């Protein structure tokens, strides 16, 4: 088996049509093929039971495949001696606890065993290599300290140093950030990425946290029911449809404006109008914009209210929320004044509602009509609630016209601070 791709990159580790598991009649991995390249950080992701840890066990010679072959630089790993394999492949398991009271240096020296003769003790050169590995992960100061008396993040650094002491060409990590807080997760992932980049190590890391994987990995391999569902850069792999299909989870996928990488947010349940038509909850029309409507729109849907939304610009986060939650709304082109057609839709929804909620938003020429519609609804006898959040009010970019309308609205409408207080007031409308 050739170990070089068409692009000239050496494939350090290759799984070819691998089926594996713990019972031949119930395989966990099913005909999995993938390649781990040098200098590339590959994240192995998938729901529980998808085969992530089994893949690491097969790739690290801990579990023979039922069928298929694993190649290391072109050679079948089961035709390589255990010592020869350990000189090239290192594994950092999820559990980094050490059963004995060893110092960090003694733990890292365990990684030198593949390079030490069977009956020989470690040499000064081995100690130097172990210390160099500790220094490389920023843990040189822990060399003489007991691993039982250091933090979880420090233990994980020591475990990675032990793997580096093997001088591997491939590094396999099974949940390297498990049980770590946010700061230690960042430390460990940045360390692994730096080692991958600077030393050209081929790295594959099993990760549960999709945001962590998307932020740090150059490539994601998604497993589902023991098969490769997707493989590629995070931006190409992670989509709302894939997350829904593989994880059975309703999530929003957005882009980090600094890195362009995707990140996931829990999506609220969709509004289903037919489920609310026969309910006794009021129909609430929300006038919002600039992201001010998110909390109240989500809360209203969660509470079971019937909901509509006023004019919001396409691309505004409130408009995206309405589309994602199936909330009836009037959408206008971005950076455009409200058209007569959209204004009429907004006014009709407001007059059909049992109550109108106006969130705090900046008033400019483009959304003056929203304030006028709220006033029209109040004059028509609809209760209008001004939701306040403690931030400065009367933000007006219309030269005074918006401020005048807002002042009139404030004298007529009921001001309520906080979403929960508003929900209580709306609940009272339904008796």
Model confidence over 310-361: pLDDT tens digits?
A: 899 888 889 988 988 889 999 988 878 888 999 999 999 999 999 999 998 7
Residue 417: both structure tokens together: 């601070």
Sequence-separated (6 or more) residues with CB below 8 Å from residue 346? 287, 310, 311, 330, 338, 369, 370, 373
Q: What pLDDT, on the 0 to 100 scale, is given for residue 274?
A: 55
Rg (CA), the chain: 29
Confidence band for 136, pLDDT divided at 50, 70 and 90:
confident
Phi-psi sector, 179: left (phi>0), alpha (psi -120 to 50), beta: left
Q: What pLDDT, on the 0 to 100 scale, is given for residue 116?
A: 72
- Candidates 334, 324, 330, 341; CA nearest to 287 is 330
Q: Which residue has the higher pLDDT, 143 or 290?
A: 143
Q: What is the mean pLDDT of residues 230-257?
A: 93
Q: What is the mean pLDDT of residues 255-262?
A: 89
Q: What is the mean pLDDT of residues 106-128?
A: 78
The length of the chain is: 431
- Measured CA to CA, the distance from residue 321 to residue 217 in angstroms comes to 29
Contact 280, 304 (CB under 8 A): no
Q: What is the mean pLDDT of residues 237-259?
A: 91
Sequence-separated (6 or more) residues with CB below 8 Å from residue 354? 282, 283, 284, 382, 383, 429
**Statement: residue 390 has pLDDT above 90:** no
Q: What is the mean pLDDT of residues 293-310?
A: 90
Q: What pLDDT, on the 0 to 100 scale, is given for residue 276?
A: 47
Q: What is the mean pLDDT of residues 63-75?
A: 95
Q: What is the mean pLDDT of residues 209-223?
A: 96
- Measured CA to CA, the distance from residue 203 to residue 196 in angstroms comes to 7
Beta pairing, strands 251-255 & 262-266: antiparallel
Residue 296: both structure tokens together: 């109240």
Residues 160-198 as b/e (b if ≥16 CB within 10 A, e otherwise) read: bbbbbbbbbbbbbbbbbbbebeeebbbbbbebbbebbee
- Measured CA to CA, the distance from residue 19 to residue 27 in angstroms comes to 7
What is the spatial order of strands in the sheet that 219-224 belongs to?
89-92, 170-174, 202-206, 41-45, 219-224, 227-232
Sequence-separated (6 or more) residues with CB below 8 Å from residue 134? 104, 105, 108, 140, 142, 143, 158, 161
Contact 261, 214 (CB under 8 A): yes
- Measured CA to CA, the distance from residue 410 to residue 387 in angstroms comes to 11
Q: What pLDDT, on the 0 to 100 scale, is given for residue 7?
A: 45
Segment 397-426, tens digit of pLDDT: 666 777 788 788 888 889 999 999 999 999
- Candidates 63, 189, 67, 38; CA nearest to 55 is 63
Q: What pLDDT, on the 0 to 100 scale, is given for residue 97?
A: 62
Say whether 216 sits in a helix, a strand or coil.
helix
Confidence band for 4, pLDDT divided at 50, 70 and 90:
very low
Please state the pTM of the whole predicted model. 0.74
Confidence band for 5, pLDDT divided at 50, 70 and 90:
very low
Least confident residue range of 244-258, 265-279, 373-387: 265-279
Q: What is the mean pLDDT of residues 223-239?
A: 96
Confidence band for 308, pLDDT divided at 50, 70 and 90:
very high
Q: What is the mean pLDDT of residues 259-279?
A: 72
Q: What's the N-to-C CA distance of the chain in angstroms?
A: 75
CA-CA-CA-CA torsion sign (418, 421, 425, 430): positive
Which range of 14-18, 144-148, 395-399, 401-405 scores highest in mean pLDDT? It is 14-18
């Amino acid at each position: 088996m050739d170990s070089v791709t068409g692009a000239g990159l050496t494939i350090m580790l290759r799984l070819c049509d691998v089926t594996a598991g713990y019972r031949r009649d119930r395989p966990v991995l099913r005909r999995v093929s993938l390649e781990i390249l040098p200098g590339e950080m590959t994240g192995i992701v998938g729901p529980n039971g998808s085969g992530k840890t089994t893949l690491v066990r097969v790739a690290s010679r801990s579990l023979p495949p039922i069928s298929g072959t694993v190649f290391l630089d072109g050679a079948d790993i089961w035709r390589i001696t255990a010592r020869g394999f350990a000189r090239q492949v290192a594994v950092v398991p999820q559990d980094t606890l050490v059963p004995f009271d060893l110092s960090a240096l003694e733990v890292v020296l365990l990684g030198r065993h593949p390079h030490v003769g069977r009956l020989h003790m470690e040499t000064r050169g081995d100690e130097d290599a172990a210390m160099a590995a500790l220094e490389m992960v920023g843990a040189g100061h822990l060399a003489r300290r007991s691993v039982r008396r250091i933090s979880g993040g420090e233990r994980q650094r020591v475990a990675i140093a032990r793997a580096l002491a093997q001088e591997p060409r491939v590094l396999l990590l099974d949940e390297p950030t498990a049980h770590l807080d946010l700061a230690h997760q960042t430390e460990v992932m940045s360390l692994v990425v730096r080692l991958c980049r600077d030393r050209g190590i081929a790295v594959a890391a099993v990760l549960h946290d999709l945001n962590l994987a998307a932020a740090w990995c150059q490539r994601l391999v998604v497993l589902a029911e023991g098969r490769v569902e997707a493989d590629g850069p995070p931006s190409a792999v992670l989509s709302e449809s894939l997350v829904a299909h593989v994880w059975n989870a309703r999530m929003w996928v957005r882009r980090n404006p600094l890195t362009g990488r995707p990140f996931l947010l829990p999506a609220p349940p969709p509004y289903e109008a037919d489920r609310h038509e026969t309910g006794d909850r009021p129909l609430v029309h929300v006038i919002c914009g600039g992201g001010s409507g998110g909390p109240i729109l989500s809360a209203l849907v969660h509470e079971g209210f019937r909901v509509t939304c006023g004019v919001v610009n396409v691309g505004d986060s409130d408009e995206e929320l309405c589309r994602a939650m199936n909330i009836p709304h009037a959408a206008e082109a971005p950076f455009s004044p409200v058209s007569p057609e959209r204004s009429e839709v907004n006014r009709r929804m407001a007059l059909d509602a049992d109550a109108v909620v106006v969130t705090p938003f900046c008033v400019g020429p483009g959304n003056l009509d929203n304030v006028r519609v709220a006033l029209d609804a109040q004059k028509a006898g609809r209760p209008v609630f001004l939701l306040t959040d403690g931030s400065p009010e009367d933000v007006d970019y219309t030269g005074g016209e918006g401020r005048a309308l807002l002042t009139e609205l404030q004298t007529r409408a009921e001001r309520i601070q906080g979403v929960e207080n508003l929900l209580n007031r709306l609940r009272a409308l339904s008796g």
